[in-house]
Amino acid sequence: MMRSASRLIVLIIAALPAAAVAQTLARYAIVGDGIPEPLTGQPGDPTRGRALVLARSSTCILCHFGPFPEARFQGDLAPSLAGAGSRSTPAQLRLRLVDASQVNPDTIMPSYYRIDGLTRVGSAWRDKPILSAEQIEDIVAYLATLRE
Amino acid sequence: MRPQALLAAALLGMALPVLAGEIAPSGRRSGYDFMSADSKAMQDDDTANPAMLSVLEGETLWTTKAGAADKSCSDCHGAVDVSMKGVAARYPAFSAASAAPVDLGQRVNLCRRQHQEADPFAPESRELLALTALIAKQSRGMPITAGGDPRLASSVARGRELFVQRQGQLNLACANCHDDNWDKHLAGSAITQGQPTGYPIYRLEWQGMGSLQRRLRGCMTGIRAQAFDFDAPDMIALELYLMSRAHGMTMDAPAVRP
């Protein structure tokens, strides 16, 4: 019974046009200056998170630099990620990644888990968040290990 | 427009305050200033600058008869180093025919159509890059003057609006990088002020020539925005704003850029 119901939902989602599929972002609750609960309901994997932070497609080190000796090209548009886990709680890190503009309305840091309020997004990227809920959790888990 | 009106427009322009984040005239720097010594040397020496091959091709095209009218550029304009001196420095310019700005490539294509009765060159074609490189070279060392024509005011304003508008999946405005963070680095690259002094350029990353429009499309794709089509009115407005923003800066076309 349960299984066929969830399969039905999957089918409906697959058949919906892009704009409606876009609404399938996991829901989350902001409490204070953070998002206390993982977007996926479970903690992420810090090893995968480190690889994601270094991957060009994630865009983090276009702007940031940090304790990544193997990465030749790092940015200096943004503060070092070294010690990010000492300065912020996992809940704060999660909100910062999901939608940094909630922390600082003028920030240049993109909102990695937001699809509304954007202008002229290229067709390849339209109605998709920059990172998935799983990827955000992996990165949060990794950043939390950056202590100093 | 009467001279008094022109003067009034000029005074108004001068009275406008520098907007937050905008670069003061004394602080403006060409992309050249951010380059490595090797790249600077390549640009400075005409025998090493790969863009000069395109200029040579442009010289041939300048004197080649074309189209149903069987005329060459030089049949109407004469020697390029005389008639085209300073021209690129004032483009995009107002075209009375379309009551809108046209950039240098579009101007070349207008001549192709109207005076040579030939098909226009495609955007980024070898021929169009060669002729625009040849013409731009005749403005080397001269100050940029584009954007002063009062009939262009609304297009300049539109270009500025586009420049400061957040766009794309990364939700960044041109100004976020080129006004506010030009002294910093994106991954390994110097961000620069995005000054359009050297176009068309030979870009090392492209291993070839390209126009300012191609460069702008690169930045738009970089922030995951839908890049403007070649020659779209918003594209020309953005080019025009960049040129007016660089008012008084020295042209160094055809430049080398990383």
Chain-chain contact of A123 with B226 (C-beta, under 8 angstroms): yes
Cα B12 to the center of its chain, rounded Å: 25
Return all residues near A85 (Cβ < 8 A) that are at least 6 apart: A93, A143, A144, A145, A146, A147
Query: What ipTM was predicted for this assembly?
Result: 0.89
Chain-chain contact of A124 with B227 (C-beta, under 8 angstroms): no
Chain-chain contact of A74 with B187 (C-beta, under 8 angstroms): yes
Cα B128 to the center of its chain, rounded Å: 13
Q: Name the residue with tokens 């202008």.
A: A119
Q: Are A39 and A93 in contact (CB under 8 A)?
A: no
Nearest residue of B to residue A124 by CA position? B224
Chain-chain contact of A119 with B165 (C-beta, under 8 angstroms): yes
Cα B35 to the center of its chain, rounded Å: 19
* CA–CA distance, A13 with A80 (Å, rounded to integer): 40
Q: Please write the tens of the pLDDT for every residue from A88-122.
A: 999 999 999 999 999 999 999 999 999 999 999 99
The count of domains in chain A is 1
Mean pLDDT of B217-246: 98
Q: Name the residue with tokens 């060669």.
A: B130
* CA–CA distance, A148 with B130 (Å, rounded to integer): 56
Q: Please write the tens of the pLDDT for every residue from B86-128.
A: 999 999 999 999 999 999 999 999 999 999 999 999 999 999 9
The pLDDT assigned to B19 comes to: 55
Q: Please write the tens of the pLDDT for every residue from B143-186.
A: 999 999 999 999 999 999 999 999 999 999 999 999 999 999 99
Among candidates A63, A66, A79, A36, which has minimal Cα distance to A142? A66
B174 contacts chain A (CB < 8 A): no
Domain carrying residue A12 = 2-145
User: What does the domain layout of chain B look like in residue ranges?
Assistant: 26-257
- Give B171's contacts in chain A (Cβ within 8 Å): 110-111, 118-119
The pLDDT assigned to B141 comes to: 98
**Top-confidence residue, B16 or A62:** A62
Domain at A137, CATH number: 1.10.760.10
Nearest residue of B to residue A114 by CA position? B169
Question: Hey, is B5 helix, strand or coil?
Answer: helix
* CA–CA distance, B220 with A120 (Å, rounded to integer): 10
The pLDDT assigned to A63 comes to: 98
In chain B, the percentage of residues whose pLDDT exceeds 90 is 91
Instruction: Compute the nearest-CA separation of B132 from chain A (Å).
Output: 29
Residue B55, pLDDT above cutoff 80: yes
Residue A15, pLDDT above cutoff 60: no
- Strand B208-210 to strand B256-257: parallel, antiparallel, or no bridges (unpaired)? unpaired
Among candidates B163, B150, B200, which has minimal Cα distance to B9? B150
HSE-up of residue B8 (Cα within 13 Å, Cβ side) = 5
The pLDDT assigned to A58 comes to: 97
Mean pLDDT of B63-73: 97
The pLDDT assigned to B20 comes to: 56
The pLDDT assigned to B15 comes to: 39
Of B168, B176, B220, the CB nearest to A108: B176
CATH of span B26-257: 1.10.760.10
The pLDDT assigned to A3 comes to: 41
How many other CB atoms sit within 10 Å of the CB of residue B203? Answer: 19
Residue A10, pLDDT above cutoff 50: no
